[in-house]
């Protein structure tokens, strides 16, 4: 299905209105999102922004401790910068939340951020949430057309789950934003690569696509530096590159495919790893071993959480499937429609994307750009389905896949339904005429 072509002035107006709508929607949602104890931790550790500016990398603050092991620091920096801009310094921060204490005890012990500090810390998350929706809108608009793009915006603006999860002062919103940005640059890189391979220009002319692949890698590294789960998308992007070269580039010879794949993966991997390390002084002393420590600590912490929150543990597959089906396809989707309805719409959208990829491989026209975003988020979505804990934020990527595929499915039905009805009506008339 061909994407709609919209003239540049109208595109700018529509894009601007969408951005304003999403900014208004998500900033307005800030006071309506219930406070969650983890926000206290992220806000408390936003002091690492001041530590980054004032302390050397050899400072004890950057040694091996709970805060340096549990998550990378980019989200903390974002909160720190935002509260600084809004007039809050490190001396006004709360203490970390104690989940073993009651709400009243935490409040009495200054573990609860003030309402003003909480709002200030949530503002950048709401802005990033709006920017995420805006970039996805542009991706769908240029890939599938205005109808699916507008439907996505409506679903994104009316999704209460997203308006709760993405405005919290936590790592979800920055991670999702940088993953979306990584997908955006990856799409541009693939387009440049397709043009290069089609025109059979000299190898040196591929430098623009290399640059865009590196930008995709930097954004992916920042996603991982916001919340470590974001690094999982790197494996998906590497597979996309291999598939593009070895299955969808018939004009290139085998040697060139191998050379290009090694070159692109190397550029991308360096672009992921370098910002991930440079932005976190904890990693300077021994990057690889300390990244390994962070990964091991994350697994250890998951075990502690399972033991500490047995009521949130999903024990069996028979319990997991119906529970997650109801949550991901209904409870966490806008308007809370029946799960089977969203499931069918998502399935239609996903099948349509695959068909468009196959059509593109034959005609080299209208590359399905939205599929790139779906594939980048896919490993995080699968990890969410496999999680032993039923915590709503763990299903963010799964919900986002639904949010991308469902409007494509709806748009496909709306575009094809008139033709189907006409065929049915024509056959009915022919049947009546014969009788």
pLDDT tens, per residue, the chain with 435 residues:
444 455 577 888 999 999 999 999 999 999 999 999 999 999 999 999 999 999 988 899 999 999 999 999 999 999 999 999 999 999 999 999 999 999 999 999 999 999 999 999 999 999 999 999 999 999 999 999 999 999 999 999 999 999 999 999 999 999 999 999 999 999 999 999 988 887 755 555 788 999 999 999 999 999 999 999 999 999 999 999 999 999 988 888 899 899 999 999 999 999 999 999 999 999 999 999 999 999 999 999 999 999 989 899 988 888 899 999 999 999 999 999 999 999 999 999 999 999 999 999 888 777 888 999 999 999 999 999 998 999 999 999 999 999 999 999 999 999 998 887 787 877 777 777 776
What residue spans of 29-94 are helical by DSSP H? 37-44, 48-54, 66-70, 74-85
Is residue 3 in some structural domain? no
Q: Residue 29 gets which letter from DSSP?
A: T
Structure tokens at 3: 């994407």
* Closest-CA residue to 399 (of 335, 334, 333, 338): 333
Domain that holds residue 351: 8-434
Query: Is residue 2 situated within a structural domain?
Result: no
Residue 206, domain member (yes or no): yes
Q: What is the DSSP string of 226-260?
A: HSGGGGGHHHHHHHHHHHHHHTS-TTS-HHHHHHH
Look at residue 1 and tell me if it is in a domain: no
Residue 333 maps to a domain: yes
Q: What is the DSSP letter of 389?
A: B
Residue 109 lies in a domain: yes
Q: Are 123 and 81 in contact (CB under 8 A)?
A: no
Single pTM value for the model: 0.94
Q: How far apart are CA 373 and CA 256, in angstroms?
A: 26
The string of pLDDT tens digits covering residues 20-78 is: 999 999 999 999 999 999 999 999 999 999 999 999 888 999 999 999 999 999 999 99
- Classify residue 315 by its DSSP letter: -
Q: Name the domain count of the chain.
A: 1
Q: Is residue 216 assigned to a domain? A: yes
Closest to 128 (Cα-Cα) out of 396, 380, 328, 402: 396
| pLDDT per residue as tens digits for the range 231-246 | 999 999 999 999 999 9
Are the C-beta atoms of 179 and 233 separated by less than 8 Å?
Answer: yes
Q: Which two tokens stand for residue 88?
A: 């809050």
- Cβ within 8 Å of residue 219, ≥6 positions away: 178, 179, 181, 182, 184, 185
Quote the Cα angle for 334-137-30, to 5°: 55
| In a domain? residue 399 | yes
Classify the C-alpha dihedral 369-372-378-380 as positive or negative.
Answer: negative
């Amino acid at each position: 299905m061909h994407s709609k072509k919209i003239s540049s002035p109208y595109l700018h107006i529509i894009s601007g209105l969408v951005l304003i709508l999403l900014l208004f929607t998500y900033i307005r949602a800030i006071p309506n999102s219930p406070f969650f104890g983890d926000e206290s931790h992220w806000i408390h550790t936003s002091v690492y922004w001041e530590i980054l500016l004032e302390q050397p990398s050899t400072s004890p603050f950057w040694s091996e401790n709970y805060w340096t092991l549990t998550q990378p620091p980019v989200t903390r920096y974002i909160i720190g910068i935002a509260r600084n801009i809004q007039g809050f310094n490190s001396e006004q921060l709360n203490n970390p939340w104690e989940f073993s204490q009651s709400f009243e005890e935490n409040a009495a012990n200054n573990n609860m951020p003030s309402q003003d500090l909480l709002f200030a810390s949530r503002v950048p998350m709401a802005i990033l949430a709006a920017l995420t929706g805006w970039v996805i809108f542009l991706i769908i608009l240029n890939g599938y057309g205005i109808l699916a793009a507008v439907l996505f915006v409506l679903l994104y603006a009316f999704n209460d789950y997203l308006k709760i999860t993405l405005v919290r002062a936590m790592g979800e919103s920055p991670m999702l934003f940088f993953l979306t940005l990584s997908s955006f640059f990856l799409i541009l890189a693939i387009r440049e690569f397709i043009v290069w391979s089609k025109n059979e220009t000299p190898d040196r002319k591929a430098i623009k696509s290399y640059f865009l692949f590196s930008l995709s890698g930097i954004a992916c590294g920042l996603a991982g530096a916001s919340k470590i789960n974001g690094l999982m998308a790197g494996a998906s992007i590497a597979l996309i590159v291999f598939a593009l070269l070895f299955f969808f580039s018939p004009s290139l010879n085998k040697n060139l495919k191998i050379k290009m794949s090694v070159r692109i993966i190397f550029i991308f991997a360096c672009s992921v790893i370098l910002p991930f390390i440079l932005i976190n002084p904890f990693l300077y002393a021994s990057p690889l071993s300390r990244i390994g420590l962070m990964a091991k600590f994350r697994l250890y912490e998951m075990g502690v959480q399972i033991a500490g929150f047995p009521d949130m543990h999903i024990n069996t597959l028979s319990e997991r499937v119906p529970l997650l089906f109801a949550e991901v396809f209904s409870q966490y989707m806008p308007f809370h429609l029946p799960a089977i309805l969203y499931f069918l719409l998502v399935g239609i959208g996903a099948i349509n994307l695959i068909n468009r990829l196959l059509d593109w491989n034959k005609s080299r026209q209208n590359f399905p750009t939205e599929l790139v975003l779906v594939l980048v988020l896919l490993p995080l979505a699968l990890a969410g389905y496999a999680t032993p804990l039923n915590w709503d934020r763990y299903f963010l990527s799964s919900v986002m896949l639904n949010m991308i595929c469902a409007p494509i499915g709806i748009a496909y039905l709306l575009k094809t339904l008139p033709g189907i009805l006409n065929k049915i009506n024509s056959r009915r008339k022919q049947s009546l005429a014969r009788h």
